Amino acid sequence: MIEAIKLFSTIELDENTKIKLEDKFKENIVQIIDDQFLINRLIITGLIIFILKDEKIKRNLLEFFTTNLNLEFNTLDELLEVKYIILLLFREVLLRQKLEYDLILILINRLEDISEEDKDLITYKQVVNFLYELKDKIDSKFYTININSNSLSNFERIILVAINSLEYKQNIKKIDDLMWLKATLDKLGIDPEEYITVESFYRYLINNLEILNLLYRYISKDKLNKLESFEAPLVIGLSIIKFSALDDKEQQLAYINKFLIKKSFFNSKKNLTYIDLTIRLILDLSLVWKVVDEKKIIKFDRDSAREDFKESTIKERSNNYISLVLEDEKRQNGKRLLTALKKNDLEIVNKLLNRRIDVNYSDNRHRTSLMYAIKFEREEIVKEILNLGADINVCDNKGKTPLVEAIAANNKNIVKILLKANCDTDIRYRSYTPLELAMIWNRKDIIPLLKKGS
């Protein structure tokens, strides 16, 4: 989580630009946040844009992302701003609990398909580590099914499991309760860790078109036509087989692999396990799923699994991440507030004070926003920071408190504000009380206030 959060600090934009982007993003995201299908596509597209090296980013990816978020830039020259928006989207999805289990797995699989030379390795590792961390928190439960599969090939079993998994939930948008299928594959006589290739899966379907036709009945052409190739490469390969005009089977396979590498960063010759293939098939199908009104092909036997599965546990873990994201957002805004106060940028200060913010964030000298607001004699900002819960008696690394800061600034109005807020008048600075300091520094207007306050 922390590694992914640190990505925000890698975007080197000035605060005014960030504020404008944040305002624009908040205005636009409310219009689409409930469209889970579109949000999933934007997250997948956005993270690929974020991780690919700048020169590798395709213009159509950029156009899709910016158009759907109603953003006005779509050129590589403004890529830094686009990447900041991507991070804002990712954080918003976390906060609104829209980052579902199937989307996490889709992201992991898509990002693993990107070749080493095409990706920013530092950014890639941070994002992938975060996604695996999320997945591991959820990846502890699974369901098993009963099926008489003695006469079926391994690929047929996988296809039937995938179809039934999606058919069971009709218009499925997430597969949180599916979890890993390892136990299911074990039960069906498939070694989940045995390595195969997607090409071998495609070869099987080319030789058994009746199985492909069965699978294709569940694919919505409308949904498929809306997808970019990289969003569901496994299904795209199925479509190429379905409508290929090539008679030579090896030519078909060669064409599919060349197409997927070019358009989807997906190598069908790459080794993967049966469990990975099953998960990828379910995830890709979930993006193009079409409800078919007929009897389910397989009947699930989930009772014992359902008893063990506690939705509240998932929700609790999810909330842990949400609280982390919220705390980080507050901390980052607190840091930005400090910077804006030091630069006397009141426009940014006022905008930040209307957001989730940690007003007690301190710099390397342990000085907080309250101290800087006092130092620069911003009375209204002092009041607002105090109203937001600022620590009124905090000390910097030299022992100076906000009250001492106000006395040093010789600002009786701020001293009044602090006294009214019940600051501690007995905390010493360099062995002197605030009253003694006022006398030493000859603060004639402040001395009576402190005597009365004491």
> d(Cα 108, Cα 95) in Å, to the nearest integer?
20
- The DSSP 8-state label assigned to residue 270 in this structure reads S
According to DSSP, the residues that pair with 196 across neighbouring strands are 272
**Residue 111: its pLDDT value, please?**
83
Lookup result for tokens 């009746």: 210
Q: Which two tokens stand for residue 188?
A: 């069906």
Distances (CA, A) of 258 to 51, 237, 249: 22, 11, 14
Low-confidence ranges of the chain (pLDDT < 70): 1-10, 54-55, 73-77, 136-151, 167-181, 183, 291-325, 454
- The DSSP 8-state label assigned to residue 10 in this structure reads G
Pick the closest to residue 43 from 33, 57, 54, 53 (CA basis). 33
Q: Are 404 and 429 in contact (CB under 8 A)?
A: yes
pTM of full prediction above 0.75: no
Question: Would you call 156 helix, strand, or coil by DSSP?
Answer: helix
The secondary structure of 66-129 as a DSSP string is HHHTT-S--SGGGHHHHHHHHHHHHHHHHHTT---HHHHHHHHHHHHHS-GGGB-HHHHHHHHH
**Residue 8: its pLDDT value, please?**
62
Q: Among positive and negative, which fits the CA dihedral 422, 423, 428, 433?
A: negative
**Residue 140: its pLDDT value, please?**
44
**Residue 359: its pLDDT value, please?**
93
Q: Are 179 and 136 in contact (CB under 8 A)?
A: no
For the chain, domains (ranges, CATH) are: 2-138 (no CATH), 154-309 (no CATH), 315-453 (1.25.40.20)
**Residue 59: its pLDDT value, please?**
77
**Residue 173: its pLDDT value, please?**
43
**Residue 170: its pLDDT value, please?**
41
> d(Cα 65, Cα 42) in Å, to the nearest integer?
6
> d(Cα 227, Cα 370) in Å, to the nearest integer?
50
> d(Cα 21, Cα 132) in Å, to the nearest integer?
29
